[in-house]
Amino acid sequence: MFKNGTIADVVIRPLKKFSDERGWLMELYRNDEVKAEHVPAMTYISLTLPGIARGPHEHIDQTDYFCFAGPSSFKVYLWDNRPESATYNHKMTVVVGESAPAIVIVPQKVVHAYKNIGDKGGLVVNCPNRLFKGHGKKDGVDEVRYENDKNSPYELD
């Protein structure tokens, strides 16, 4: 059903690590490097244990702005679920994190998941362009989840 290939509007941008005797620093977000529709509305951080996956799921109105800086490395899975897209039914994967720090911007209606493929817990920062559950957390969650769907075409290896 899906064919391997890049997906339109997905952005993968390497992060630069600036190191000195004190440690290191990475710029995760700069508004001069992001389209207006991707400007964050909030930020959260999560810890994912080794071998654990989050997703697959998609958002109807939200773009995710994931920051994979380490520790650990992640395999990110993306499926273009947008019939209007030139890359509809494309699937792509990328390894990011400690081994290759990167920003991964996932547009709305692109199904996505990530799995910690390292041997330690890994941090992921997300700066989505919509508030979780809307202003004051009064709206529904903007997710279509496929994790527990036994008939899901969105498979992780």
Confidence label for 157 from pLDDT (cuts 50, 70 and 90): confident
150, 148, 5: which is closest to 80 by C-alpha?
5
Model confidence pLDDT, tens digit, residues 98-111 = 999 999 999 999 99
As a whole number of angstroms, the longest Cα–Cα distance in the chain is 51
For position 1, what pLDDT does the model report?
Answer: 84
Domains in the chain, CATH or no CATH each:
3-17+37-131 (2.60.120.10)
Tell me: pLDDT of 6 over 90.
yes
Please state, in angstroms and rounded to a whole number, the distance separating the CA atoms of residues 44 and 62.
14
Q: Supply the pTM of this predicted model.
A: 0.94
Q: What is the pLDDT of residues 125-142, one digit of tens each?
A: 999 999 999 899 999 999
pLDDT tens-digit map of 49-64:
999 999 999 999 999 9
CA distances from 51 to 74, 117, 131 (A): 9, 6, 28
